[in-house]
Structure 1
Amino acid sequence: MTGERTRDESAGIWHPRIVWVTVGAVALVFLAAVQALAVTTVMPVVSDELDGASLYAVAFSATLATSVIGMVATGAWSDRAGPVLPLYTATTLFVAGLLIAGAAPTMEILVAGRLVQGLGTGGQIVALYVVVARIYPSVLHGRVFAAFSAAWVVPSLIGPFLAGAVAEFLHWRWVFFGVALLTVVAFVMVAVKLAGIDMHTDEPASNGNVILRLVLAVVVAMGALALSLSGEIPVFGWAAAAASLVVIALAARPLLPRRTLSAGRGLPSVVLMRGIIAGALFGAEIYVPYLLIDHFGFSPTWAGLGLTTAALAWAAFADVQGRFGDRIGNTRITLIGVVLLGTSTAVAGLTALWGLPPAVLIAGWTLAGAGMGLMYPRLTVLTLAYSTPQNQGFNSSALSISDSIGASAAIAVMGLAFTFLRGTDAGFPAVFAIATALALAALVPGLRLGHAHETRVP
């Protein structure tokens, strides 16, 4: 095995022994990217047709909420028996959710489909992280995650534009059906290859009380959904939101490394920072095409342009991180990334507040992609560096759980603020102001990341 790993390191992630794993993993990330960018682009149209404006934010946070359950289940399953079957199961749920959403006659059923899809989305990413940890030498981890980020390049170029065109000239339902069909094709191509590779560890983890962790994951998901729906409560919406946040925090603690919520040095801060920056970006991102359509009269076809440039910047800066991350250092990556992300959300807020040209919004949002491209994959590399074969699944799921909790909570809070201020000119500025505050808050854990056993990438 040592000799094989040495040859793999010299040949990179496209070595013949692992090339099909790389292709399959990148394909799944690619399709997840297509889905995320496409749905974000067309959701204003979907919400309008299904008369679901009040559930607009819920349609996004629902997927993130149930993804926590998929993450916990897949993490435990992967640590115990390897990531292959968990990955297959997650992909099946992902496709099923897309089909339900695509066929939905009402916004409520579409949200139900997004709930099912979330189970698969969460499971997929955790299983893929474990695949990377089990197959690739640590020296290649940065390049693998850079490749994952690069898998967003083509979707970012054509995904939003194509999704808008499909919604405008065919029907928005084909956005969901099309991604489901492509996912099935990709899955069939890679399933046999993954099944033929041994990814078991000699010392599988016992996983402790898996049932308790699953129960807690369900509580977290329910809390996130309650948070998303708190805007429907006429008088006590903010009180319900605060109570939901407390429930989420208490239930999530055992699912995360110790001292995560207090920004403990090392892995806890890695996990916490991931949740904060995910909340800042993904919470605000869903309002970028919304703003372009609502304030500037963009068609769905062109509204995705605001996401395209950011995704391209994400991929480019992820490649920089993959090649030079160790040389740049965790502290500088944090500082540069936070400044770029915070600047982009502030520019978006000022565009909405002062009525600046839409080109300012699009150019400013590009900075968000650049900052996330530096920080996001770096945090994944650090998580695996802090892990052992016995806890790779737990730590990977913890990272993704923080991701989803941060994003779903931010989306819900921003949605609550947006709903409360509906009919005024303050809705969009308030959303982007919250995102800016979150971006700056990421400095607290970001300066406590420490160093694990990252191997310098040549």
Structure 2
Amino acid sequence: MEKRNAGAATPPAITGRWAELLAPRYLATTTMLCVGVALYAFNGFLVSTVLPTAVREIGGAALLPWSLTLYLVASIVAGASAALLKQRYGARKVLFAAALVFLAGTLAAALSSNMETVLVGRVFQGIGEGIIAAICYALIPEMFPPALVPKVFGAEATVWAVAAFGGPVLAGSLTESFSWRVAFLVNAPIIGLFLLLAAVMVPGGRGAAGATSRGFPIRRLALLSAGLLVMLIAGLAPSALATTAAVAASFLLILAAVRFDRRADHSILPKGAFSLRSTLGLGLWVVLLMPLSQATSGVYLVYCLQYLFGYGPTHAGALGALMAISWSLTAIGIANLRHEGARRATIWLGPLLLVCGFAALATAIAAGSTGLLAAAQITIGAAFGLSWGYLSQMLMETTPERERDKTSALLPTLQSAGYALGAAMAGLWANGAGLASAETPEAMRMILTLTFALALIWAVPALLAARRAVRLAGPASPAS
């Protein structure tokens, strides 16, 4: 195990105020982690904005969906292996390598002359971003005292909110004023800043003793990759029977990867992951299920606003961004909670708000109410802002010290997996219900209403798992 940073132990003077997060002792570390998040957040909005323009120049429109599919698979699989890489080579070396891989993918995509090269670049971007996000999460409990951890999550939520508004605007402006290639290259200076901060702030040294002798989990990662890939392309199957078979095969492959991992001497997942009898296992289910539910909005909300409510891209995008803004403001607002009982309560109140938000969102679409839709988006964002930071902190703290890297690194990976699987499941339902061939607004409204209502299938068990996880965690301890 790497030697901890001096900020890992809670000094008596640390009280958890925002000013302490921005003090010289932690400012550079906070900036580094936020830049790592910015690399992930801004790139997603940049790519989704510029690729439609890119295919008009270089062709390959039929391959456009693969730019997201391959990126997601690469990101999730790379994130799953991040903890083992950190233990073997040390955080600094792995972050440097991941940032350079991401840079290589960015340059490949920006300088490409065909869509196939863009896809190669997206795979490299996914590998780099998956590892960076996972290790940045793993560094939070190492480099900050517990009292400041909620503030770190609040700061990262702010970065996401800025990216939600600023990313599409920046990418669109650069594409229109210069070229889509210039928009891709915006990532380059962000990578440079991240490398500089990582060189100064991330602990060096070698990985954990004995880690270099561990075999790399190629079979488990291959099964996970295959399962995710089959799930994400199931919607392209030519018939409902083939789609059903693909979904079943996907779940079997992912389940096989998890089962093999549980039997391995050196696992990817922490012990007890996804168990229904432990705080850690139940909490990880919440981390997976909440994004799985929210992915429905990510896929169909802007589409719904344009085709059912008649908004243009700008206004639809602004309404869609309400969720990210609400997430950020809520995370900042509750980061000062002192009482441990109140912190524990936010962990299950968040999923409760998620249930209420999606019920309201489905109702708003059925009724054609913009006001209710905006309120639902704010509620869904508040659900994540309320629970995400304290849930993540609880999972890190309930994990044994020797396994903490695995849990911390798994959180963003699991979040990405939830979004990916949720988007695939929402697409399967909507396409199977005939959304693409709906001939009237009424038919389209009915299909989209049911699509958003089905998000409750994932939100309700997230609530139940969160309640049980908090109960199993035991009585609240005194405030930090």
TM-score range, shorter chain: 0.7 to 0.9
Comparing 147-156 and 267-276, the one that deviates more: 147-156
Alignment of 1:47-446 (within 5 A): 52=61, 56=65, 59-102=67-110, 110-166=118-174, 172-178=180-186, 180-194=187-201, 197-198=203-204, 204=209, 206=211, 209-212=214-217, 214-235=218-239, 236-253=242-259, 254=261, 255-324=268-337, 326-329=339-342, 332-354=345-367, 356-420=368-432, 421=434, 422-424=436-438, 425=444, 426-446=446-466
- TM-score for both structures, normalised by structure 1: 0.85
> Cα–Cα, structure 1 residues 365 and 162, in superposed 2: closer, same or farther, change >3 Å?
farther
Larger Rg: 2
In 2, the alpha carbon distance for the partners of 1:285 and 1:357 equals: 19
- 2:74/2:126 contact within 8 Å kept: yes
Q: Percent identity?
A: 23
Larger relative contact order (CA 8 Å, sep ≥ 6): 1
- 2:72/2:420 contact within 8 Å kept: yes
- 1:74/1:126 contact within 8 Å kept: yes
Secondary structure in structure 2 of the residue aligned to 1:423: coil
Shift of 1:72: 2.9
Shift of 1:124: 1.0
Structure 1: gaps of 5 or more residues: none
Comparing 424-433 and 43-52, the one that deviates more: 43-52
- 1:138/1:455 contact within 8 Å kept: no
Shift of 1:363: 3.4
> Cα–Cα, structure 1 residues 210 and 393, in superposed 2: closer, same or farther, change >3 Å?
farther
Shift of 1:273: 0.9
Partner of 2:441: none
Letter of the 1:417 partner, please give it.
Answer: W
- 1:341/1:367 contact within 8 Å kept: yes
Comparing 217-226 and 146-155, the one that deviates more: 146-155
In 1, the alpha carbon distance for the partners of 2:182 and 2:450 equals: 33
In 2, the alpha carbon distance for the partners of 1:250 and 1:41 equals: 36
Structure 2: gaps of 5 or more residues: 1-5, 262-267, 439-443
- 1:348/1:361 contact within 8 Å kept: yes
Secondary structure in structure 2 of the residue aligned to 1:151: helix
In 2, the alpha carbon distance for the partners of 1:2 and 1:182 equals: 28
- 2:274/2:280 contact within 8 Å kept: no
> Cα–Cα, structure 1 residues 174 and 30, in superposed 2: closer, same or farther, change >3 Å?
same
Count, aligned residues: 452
Secondary structure in structure 2 of the residue aligned to 1:323: coil
Residues 1:9 and 2:14 are matched in the alignment: yes
Shift of 1:35: 2.5
In the TM superposition, what whole-angstrom CA distance separates every residue of 1:298-326 from its partner, at most 9, and x where no partner exists? 44333321232211211122123422175
> Cα–Cα, structure 1 residues 2 and 95, in superposed 2: closer, same or farther, change >3 Å?
closer
Comparing 296-305 and 264-273, the one that deviates more: 296-305
- TM-score for both structures, normalised by structure 2: 0.81
In 1, the alpha carbon distance for the partners of 2:244 and 2:63 equals: 16
Computed over aligned residues only, the root mean square deviation of the Cα atoms, in angstroms, reads: 3.4
Shift of 1:217: 2.1
Partner of 1:25: 33
Secondary structure in structure 1 of the residue aligned to 2:249: helix
Shift of 1:456: 6.2
